[in-house]
Amino acid sequence: MNSKQRIRAAIDHQQPDKLPMDFGSSFITGIHCSVVEQLRDHYQLEKRPVRICEPYQMLGEIEADLLDAMGLDMQPIFPHRTIFGFPNENWKPWTTPWGQNVLVSEHFKTTEDNQGNIYIYPKGDLEAPASGHMPKTGYFFDTIERVDPDFDEDDLNLEDNLEEFGPMSAEEENYWQEQAEAWRDSERAISVHLNGTSLGDIALVPAPFLKNPKGVRGVADWYMLSADEPEFLQRLFDRQAAIALQNMEKLHRIAGDLIDVVVVCGTDFGTQNSLFCSVPSMREIWLPHYKRINDWIHQNTNWRTFKHSCGAVEPLIDTFIDCGFDILNPVQCSADGMAPEGLKAKYGDRITFWGGGVNTQQTLPFGTPQQVREEVLSRCEIFAPGGGFVFNAIHNVQALSPIRNVVAMIEAVHSFNGDS
C-alpha cells in the first residue's frame, strides 16, 4: 500500500499493511517548531529555519524531506489564513524568545513590552488591538479576549457572531485551485481544515483573526450560552452550517477526491475528569448541525470526517458516532474513562482513533525513552488490530519534549511495523 491507501484502509476499519502514522497534518496533530528543528538535526537534513505554519501554537511545518525521514503518511493543505487572520506568504526571519531562528509570514507583526512579553495583531494590523500574547518565558501565544464595549448579554445579536462566516472569496478559491494542482499526484493522504464548521471551537470564539470582534467573545460567557441560551446557539449553528455547506460545495468542485480527511471541528467537550456539557445538551444543541455537515460530506464526497475533542469524552463517543464522525482525536487515554482497552472494545469497529499513541502531558515530556517506547508499543498493540487506528500523540508534541523521547516514539512505531 502507499500512504493514501494505508490511511484509507485504517479509517474504513480494514487492516492496512502497516500502522499509518501522522504528525503535522493538522493544527491538532502537529509538532512545536523547536522540536521540528531538533528532528531535522537528528535526521541530518539540510539546515534551514523552520517555517511557522500555525503561529498561535508555534507549530513548525514538517517539510517533505522530514515527512520521508519520519515515515509519515499524511500531507496537509493548511487553510488560506492563519488563526490570526493573515496568509502565510513571503516568509521572513524572526527570532523567538527562546532564541530559535524561524521563518514567519510577512504579515506576522508583533510588538514587545518592557518585560519582554510579545503581542501579535489580527491580520497583521498594528493599529488594531492585539489579539495574542506570548509571555517572555512562553513558547506559544495565548488569546487576548477583546469584548465589544457595547456588548449586552441580555440583547444578543445573531449577526455579531456570524461576522467571520461568509462565502468563500475569489482569493480563497484561487488558493485552493493552486493547492489542488500542486498536490494532485501526492501518494500521501491529504488532510484539510474545513472553514466554518467548528461550531463553537473555543480557540476560535474570541476571534483572534478579527480586528474588533462583536458578540459573545469571552470564553466563560460562551460556555454559559449552552446552559442559558441553547436556542441562540441552535440558531447560530444552523446559520453557520448553511454557509459551510455552500463553501464545501465549492471546495469539492475544486479539489474533489484529492482530499482524504477533513477536520470538521476542534470543539473540546471534555476536561481531565468530566464534560463541559451533558450528553442531552450535546444531542440537542450540536448533534443536528454536525449530522447535517457530515451527512452532506458522506453523500457528496469521498472525504472522511475528523472530530477533535480533548478530555474525558467517553460518554459522548456514541453521540459523536451518531453525528456521523468517522474519526476521533486526540484520544486522551489519561482522562477519566478513557482507558484504551475499553475504548477499542466498545467503539473500535465504529470510529477510528487518531491519536492516543503516547501521553504528551507526562510520558513524552518527562519519561525515559524506554518508558516512551513501552507505552507506544502497548497502545499500538491495543488499537491497531482490525484497523481503525492512525498513530499520533495525544495532541501536539509540545516544546521542551526531549528529542530522544520523540525519536523513541517514532522508532517504536516503526518497530511495531517491522521496519526496524
Question: Which of 205, 220, 233, 347 minimizes the C-alpha distance to 290?
Answer: 233
Domain assignment present for 341: yes
Q: How many domains are contained in the chain? A: 1
The total number of residues written for the chain in this structure: 420
The 3-state DSSP class for residue 74 equals: strand
pLDDT value of residue 226: 86
% of the chain beyond a pLDDT of 70: 100
Give the neighbor-by-neighbor strand order of the sheet with 261-265: 74-77, 189-193, 261-265, 304-308, 327-329, 352-354, 389-390
The 3-state DSSP class for residue 356 equals: coil
pLDDT value of residue 420: 67
Domain assignment present for 246: yes
Q: Hey, what amino acid is at 418?
A: G
In this prediction, residue 346 has a pLDDT band, given cuts at 50, 70 and 90, of very high
In this prediction, residue 43 has a pLDDT band, given cuts at 50, 70 and 90, of very high
The C-alpha atoms of residue 132 and residue 116 are separated, in whole angstroms, by 14
- β-strands 74-77, 189-193: how paired? parallel
SS3 string of 217-258?
CCHHHHHHHHHHCHHHHHHHHHHHHHHHHHHHHHHHHHHHHH
Domain assignment present for 59: no
Q: Hey, what amino acid is at 194?
A: L
Domain assignment present for 104: no
Across the range 27-36, mean pLDDT stands at: 98
Domain assignment present for 44: no
pLDDT per position as a tens digit, 89-111: 999 999 999 999 999 999 999 99
CATH number at residue 185: 3.20.20.210
Domain assignment present for 187: yes
pLDDT value of residue 40: 98
User: Which helix H or strand E contains 189, and what residues bound it?
Assistant: strand 189-193
Q: What are the E-state strand segments in 121-187?
A: 132-134, 142-143
pLDDT per position as a tens digit, 186-230: 999 999 999 999 999 999 999 999 999 999 999 999 999 888 999
Q: CA distances (Å), 259 to each of 8, 70, 189, 207, in order?
A: 11, 22, 7, 27
Question: Which domain range does residue 216 map to?
Answer: 3-35+71-79+150-416
pLDDT per position as a tens digit, 261-293: 999 999 999 999 999 999 999 999 999 999 999
Domain assignment present for 404: yes
pTM above 0.95, yes or no: yes
For every residue of 306-344, DSSP letters joined together read EEE--SS-GGGHHHHHHHT-SEEE---TTSTT--HHHHH
The C-alpha atoms of residue 282 and residue 213 are separated, in whole angstroms, by 26
Domain assignment present for 238: yes
